[in-house]
Structure 1
Amino acid sequence: MSDILNQLNESANLALRAKSTQESMKHLAKAFALFSNESTRLENANVRLLNRFNKIKDQLERVENDLRSKVSDLDAASLYLNNILKNISQGILYIDLTGIVTTYTTKAQNILEIDEKKVLFNKYLDNFKDDFFGFSIKNALNFSMFPKTSYITINTKNAQKLIEINTSIVWDSPKNHRGIILLLKDLTDLQKLQIRANRNDRLNQIGQITNSIAHEIKNPLSSIRGFA
């Protein structure tokens, strides 16, 4: 741009110092030609820049629309997943590799009777002992060492509960995992029913034994009465 300005300035000075009108017109014509060419070049550059800007703008709009669509799909999927989790009979607790509890369903809260606000998105060890669920959570996260199924008895504010825990790893790839998921099932009522059923079985067995003994006693007595 500075070269063009220098050339225009030089042509203008030559036109002013020209000794004849013809020579002056010659230098002015050169100056106008330079100006016209530079204007055309700048205009073309501006058009190219504007076209590029519009192209980038269109690309950004497409990317933005794609992102909005994906966010909408993600929101819908999250809502769908949350509805599923709410209706699952088992409590679900998910712990990521950093030891943060990122999933803690209402059912899990009802079973453990520990407020969601204390547990969700907080360190697991802030609310539970490492072996609270019958095995080391640290070893499970670091070395994938855990029993698939375990049973614990806990004392809550309302009752003593028997809980079944099914544990599995959430894999990110064949070699890497993202965390562990615990499925909690309250077996307290089932245990009570089992105890009641066992008690009834024992009572039935005692009744059968009593009847058998009474029958065995009755037979000799009948024989004695016959001889008498």
Structure 2
Amino acid sequence: MSEVLSLLNPMTKRPFAFNEYYSFNDTILIFGLETSLTTRICDIAAKLNIKVYECRSIEDLLAIPAFIAVVNPRKITQVEAVILAELWQEYDTSEFKVIFIETPYSYWPQPLPSCVKVEPDLFADLEKLRLNILKQKTPANRQDRIARQYEERISRILMILKRLQKGPVKTKELAKEFKVSARTVQRDIRVLECIGEPIGYDEQEKAFFLLNRGSLWD
């Protein structure tokens, strides 16, 4: 939650409130649920510190990031069902899961996308519902961690390139600056070489340098 508070709303220039910012690892989407079912899922989500977004249209189902959606498919028209089924085909269950709380009408394209599960008895057991949410949140958190690792590595690689543009730099200096191992630095340098950056290594100085001061990223 502290991470959300550190993000500024570009429209208001103020930090996002908890219920103003939705991400794929902390949000449940609901669509077409009766008030009593909405209340139940909101109660469970509150205990798990997870947000619930009540979708008013299929556009919301597609646009709002979330790790799970609980949907009454009978509240969706035939035209909308075709659109959703086609787009949901692109999802992997490790990223996003859709739970139908009713058996869908026959106009839904078959077979249903792999991310869609039909569970008419989902709300019969609240503990089962809670476990369903937690089970799906685990891979969502894993995907988030992987994405963050990639972001960190891309940022580090670009910073290393920036250092190299200023002159030779030693592996141990980069390792200390970025709090990684010398081997990690060497792998990052290799990535730069693979994308075409001309990097040399001075055996005597034990330092990397650009063979020319120009860069593909200038």
Structure number with the higher helix fraction is 1
TMscore range, shorter length: under 0.3
Name which structure has the greater RCO, CA cutoff 8 Å, separation 6+.
2
